[in-house]
């Protein structure tokens, strides 16, 4: 099947093999006589799906044994409230602002923490750079420090997670890794909690993954709803309420697909990281060498997953998008808050798709030179 290349920032492309498997199993999962959406979440059939998905994710991301993996609902936006409800102790929380998503996070946390303190902000650069860690104004005794490790809209990524202890902070680091989860390894020695919506790099919208260190459980504010209390969710193996069963199933298929990926001697997440580096370098190189296109993000923090770019002559925007669609290059329009274009190169985007985009960039520029 010759499908277009989908550069959507989310909900985003899902590997064709995963979609084909889901389609084949839609009416009857493994001879059970039921589709996954029809199963009891407490039945043995679905429990086996859930357990395999959790085990595969733990293996892929090398999640240590002292971290719990929770399958929840609400997406990253809901976690902006759920995290402070569980971890803030109604005290001070530090935020490093690097784009739209971390801005949303600090605003929401202000409803639950005594103070949502901005320790650093890249707003002065229009979020085209990450403030150097040495300049962060971290609070003494903060309950946690929050970063968005990849900003989907502004295209800024932490290529190395901050070492808070080296910065003089004993607070746990919370990362929103929604848009680059499973694209590279995670240094869990520097992380207390990671959360992400699945719809960008793992599966369909509706599933949220939370990976939380066990010692951070059991400190929820009294007002925290039971279904959002991490300890309650962990104690019930994500089955306290009916979880997003279809999303967990699709994520599980994606995890199995990831485990099959190979790049030379590399497998799984290591293979995907190498592939993602190659894809991003190909597109950034084409943009940087162009006289028509521009990426404004500092090279040392450019996202591998979400690449915003602009036409120097914005009068050509509509023609560019129309021509891209004719070539089967879909959803390249930038976020409404920043304009321009954006190409999201999640795991499901093959190198051939990026090459097709680069070929179009060259052809369009030649046509309008």
Is 188 noted as a catalytic residue in this protein?
no
Q: One of 94, 176, 231, 279 is an active-site residue; which one?
A: 176
Among 78, 141, 134, smallest CA distance to 114 is for 141
Within its chain, how far is the Cα of 20 from the centroid?
Answer: 23
**Cβ count within 10 A of residue 300:** 9
Please give the structure tokens belonging to residue 150.
């990849």
Q: One of 68, 94, 200, 279 is an active-site residue; which one?
A: 200
Is 101 noted as a catalytic residue in this protein?
yes
Plot region of 339 (φ>0 → left; ψ -120 to 50 → alpha; else → beta): left
Q: Where are the beta strands (DSSP E) in the chain?
A: 5-6, 67-72, 92-97, 115-121, 145-148, 150-151, 156-157, 173-176, 193-197, 208-213, 262-263, 266-267, 293-294, 306-311, 329-330, 341-344
Q: One of 68, 94, 101, 333 is an active-site residue; which one?
A: 101
In the DSSP assignment, the letter for residue 283 is H
Q: What is the dihedral of CA 364, 293, 328, 19, to 10 degrees?
A: 160
* Pairing of the two strands 145-148 and 150-151: unpaired
Is 200 noted as a catalytic residue in this protein?
yes
**Residues designated catalytic:** 101, 176, 200
């Amino acid at each position: 099947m010759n499908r277009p290349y989908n550069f959507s920032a989310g909900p985003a492309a899902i590997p064709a093999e995963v979609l084909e498997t889901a389609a084949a199993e839609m009416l009857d999962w493994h001879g059970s006589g039921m589709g996954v959406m029809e199963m009891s979440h407490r039945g043995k059939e679905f429990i086996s799906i859930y357990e395999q998905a959790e085990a595969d994710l733990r293996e892929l991301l090398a999640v240590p044994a002292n971290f719990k993996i929770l399958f929840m609902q609400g997406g990253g936006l809901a976690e902006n409230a759920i995290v402070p409800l569980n971890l803030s102790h109604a005290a001070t929380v530090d935020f490093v602002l690097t784009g739209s998503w971390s801005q949303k996070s600090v605003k929401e946390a202000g409803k639950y923490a005594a103070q949502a303190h901005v320790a650093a902000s890249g707003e002065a650069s229009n979020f085209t750079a990450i403030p150097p860690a040495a300049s962060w104004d971290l609070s003494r005794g903060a309950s946690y420090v929050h970063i968005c490790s990849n900003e989907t809209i502004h295209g800024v990524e932490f290529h190395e997670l901050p070492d808070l202890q080296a910065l003089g902070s004993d607070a746990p680091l919370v990362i929103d890794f929604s848009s680059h989860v499973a694209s590279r390894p995670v240094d869990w020695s520097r992380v207390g909690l990671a959360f992400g919506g699945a719809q960008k790099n793992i599966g369909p919208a509706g599933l949220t993954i939370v990976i939380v260190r066990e010692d951070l459980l059991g400190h929820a504010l009294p007002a925290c709803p039971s279904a959002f209390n991490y300890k309650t969710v962990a104690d019930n193996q994500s089955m306290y309420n009916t979880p997003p069963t279809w999303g967990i199933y699709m994520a599980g298929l994606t995890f199995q697909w990831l485990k099959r990926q190979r790049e030379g001697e590399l497998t799984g997440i290591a293979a995907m990281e190498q592939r993602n580096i190659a894809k991003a370098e190909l597109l950034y190189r084409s943009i940087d060498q162009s006289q028509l296109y521009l990426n404004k993000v500092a090279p040392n923090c450019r996202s591998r997953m979400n690449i915003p770019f602009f036409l120097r002559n914005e009068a050509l925007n509509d023609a560019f998008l129309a021509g891209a669609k004719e070539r089967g290059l879909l959803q390249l329009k930038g976020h409404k808050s920043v304009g321009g274009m954006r190409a999201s190169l999640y795991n499901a985007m093959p190198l051939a798709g990026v090459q097709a985009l680069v070929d179009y960039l060259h052809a369009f520029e030649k046509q309008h030179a």
